[in-house]
Amino acid sequence: MKKKEEQLPLRSKKFLAYLIADFGWKGIIFYTLMHLQAKLSTAELTFLLTTVITSGVIQIGYILGQTALDKYLATAVEIFDNDEKKDDKKDEE
């Protein structure tokens, strides 16, 4: 079993990358909106929309990737546990 400190999300490089990306795009949007103060041209609006869409894809990819990894690990552990149980039964016979 892992120690409690090893289970913290901030120990994960993927989670840190996600946080940087998340705060990064929010910072870009905040800066752009404060700098322009409702004077959006077509290029600036396109930039903001692209930023929002890209960040959404990154967030969805991160969440789905973590979910797939968790499922893969749970399946692998279950397979190894089943193999050990079969080996134990064979040894008893």
Tokens 């890209």 found at: 54
pLDDT at 90: 67
Domain range summary for the chain, segments of one domain joined by + = 12-92
CA angle 29, 34, 35 (to 5 degrees): 100
To the nearest whole number, what is the mean pLDDT of the chain? Answer: 78
pLDDT at 63: 78
CB 36 within 8 A of CB 44: yes
**pTM, rounded to two decimals:** 0.53
Cα separations in angstroms, 91 against 80, 81, 85, 86, 88: 16, 15, 10, 9, 5
Q: What is the pLDDT of residues 10-47, one digit of tens each?
A: 677 777 777 887 888 888 878 877 887 767 788 888 88
pLDDT at 1: 46
Q: What is the mean pLDDT of residues 71-85?
A: 84
